Amino acid sequence: MKTADSIAFVCPRFAAGGAVGGAETLLRNQAARAAAAGRRVTFLTTCARSHFSWANELPPGERTVDGMTVRFFPVSPRDEAAFLDAQRSICAGGSVLPGTESAWLANSVHSEALYEHLASHGAGYDRIVMGPYLFGLTYRASEILPDRTVLVPCLHDEPFAALEATRALFHRVRAIMFNSAPEQALAERLFGTPLPPSAVVGMGMDDFAADGDAFRKRHAWADVDYLIYCGRREPMKGTTLLLDYLGAFRRRTGRDVRLVLTGSGPVELPGELAGAVTDLGFVSESEKHDAMAGALAFAHPSVNESLGIVLLESWLAGTPALVHACSAVLRDQCKRSRGGLWFRIYPEFEETLLWILDRPALRRQMGTAGRRFVLSEYSWAKTLGRMLSLLDEAG
Amino acid sequence: MDNLFEIGADGLDTAAIVAEIQATVERKTREGVYSDPHVARAERSNLANLKNEENFLTFYLDCLRDAVFVDINDFDIYERRRRFSRALVAFKRLVWKMLKFYTYRLWSQQNQVNGLLLTAVESTESRYREKMAALEARVARLEEALRGRAS
């Protein structure tokens, strides 16, 4: 068994402040922890910050961050219109023509400079960890040294997962690191078994202290009951659904439950919710954690999750969760942790929220159970151990 | 009440709580508690999430039934601004009176179309459901007969 001493992490964007997704945060944290554990880590990424424009905003070159070398490569020119056309066709559902799939892949984000680096220096890395599965860069990079490549897919049940290229990617790599057992089960269902060796790793969470009362005091909300959602605001994440449900709940029950949002993306508030929704936008981590701690529950209406980092954070803040049952991952987390409840349709949302509202003691009990679950299952000691075992054993 | 679902030292059995809530929802649904256009409207962005579920179409049609008719009746006309509120309300009432004959005709026809379309989809769905049930029963009978022949 060869120890993975030198590890490259590959991700289209590097998570450094600002709005980045969960997958980028996951890969950066895994890389930083591997570096702290004494492995030689190089992070290969692009100069892009926006996953819409993929414009080269950061200067190319090499920098040292958290004890690891981060190399930024420019994004290659791409035909954005052709990409969006193909993406629309794929998202429309039904069978995807090979031409559409190849147009989507060819015009996704790529970096020829990064591929050249991997081709010429890849042999110096014992393992090349890359993800998420959704980007052209991951497909192409995985073809360069597949027998050293470990995929962190962050897989969701969505039209892109059904592409032939995705199936090939999952069967091409040396090993796969999943974020949760339901994600692993989804991959097995979509791509068939046997898949390459895999493990459920996830991301470690650092404990923090949060003060919900202080947040309520700062906002003069001593007696306000509110739900909280943190993260990107877009239909794919279920924020439209949450706003629709909250509006119906307030109208039908007459209970003054409000919503606090943090994160990025536009929010279109229906008139009836004016005054009931507070959009804090980007806030510091401590402000976010205080806001979580003061909430009735963390509402996670997304059905496209492979881990749910913010859900784990809200449990660390001692707050129970209310998640969409169609997300197998979030439902499984709530079931295993006993820290949250789930709904499938509006009537279940209404009944569950009323249940949460009227039972403060049980709410606290769920929050405590969630916190215990995160501290035991998602400590860095455990997740790093799982990750390094897989990387070493895949040698 | 708070101790209803407490299970041992491990905390709450959230699956049991959800099952209990679902049973309550089923009962209330039968009682018509959720037959409400607000519920139908709230579900608009959830329908895509439920497309793989067996009862999706039934649920979708239930939602449609609650929202299919546009309300064309008179409604309360009010004004939030304090200044000139009486004059503004009178003006709005006048506008509504002038437009009513036109919108009434337009929306009543639209409601007719909506209702007919819903009925057509419902009857198609129910026919297919019956057909599927008959086919499933037939397959089960044939499998039973095959098993009998094999043994």
Residue of A nearest to B3 (CA): A362
Confirm if A304 and A155 have CB atoms less than 8 A apart: no
**Which member of A303, A341, A361 has the closest CB to residue B17?**
A341
Residue of B nearest to A352 (CA): B21
| Record: contact B43-A366, CB cut-off 8 A | no
Residue B25 makes CB contacts below 8 A (sequence gap 6+) with A345, A347, A348, A351, B34
**Which member of A240, A346, A355 has the closest CB to residue B39?**
A346
pLDDT at B150: 80
| Record: contact A366-B34, CB cut-off 8 A | no
Residue A183: other Cβ atoms inside 10 A = 25
Containing H/E element for A65?
A: strand A61-65
| Record: contact B39-A344, CB cut-off 8 A | no
pLDDT at B9: 39
b/e per residue A332-369 (b: at least 16 CB within 10 A): bbbbebbbbbbbbbbbbbbbbbbbbbebeebbebbbbb
Residue of A nearest to B56 (CA): A345
Max CA distance (Å), chain B: 89
Question: For chain B, which ranges sit under pLDDT 50?
Answer: 1-9
State pLDDT tens for residues A274-297.
889 999 998 999 999 999 999 999
pLDDT at A212: 94
B 72-91 near A (Cβ less than 8 A): none
**Closest by Cα among B82, B78, B100 to B91:** B78
Question: For chain A, which ranges sit under pLDDT 70?
Answer: 1, 17-20, 395
pLDDT at B81: 81
Candidates B17, B36, B54, B58: best to mutate against A (most CBs of A within 10 A) is B17
| Record: contact B42-A235, CB cut-off 8 A | no
Confirm if A10 and A128 have CB atoms less than 8 A apart: yes
User: Distance of alpha carbon A246 from its chain centroid, rounded?
Assistant: 24
Candidates A189, A250, A362: best to mutate against B (most CBs of B within 10 A) is A362
B 1-20 near A (Cβ less than 8 A): 1-2, 5-6, 10-15, 17-18
pLDDT at A266: 82
Residue count of chain A, please give it.
395
pLDDT at B5: 39
pTM: 0.80
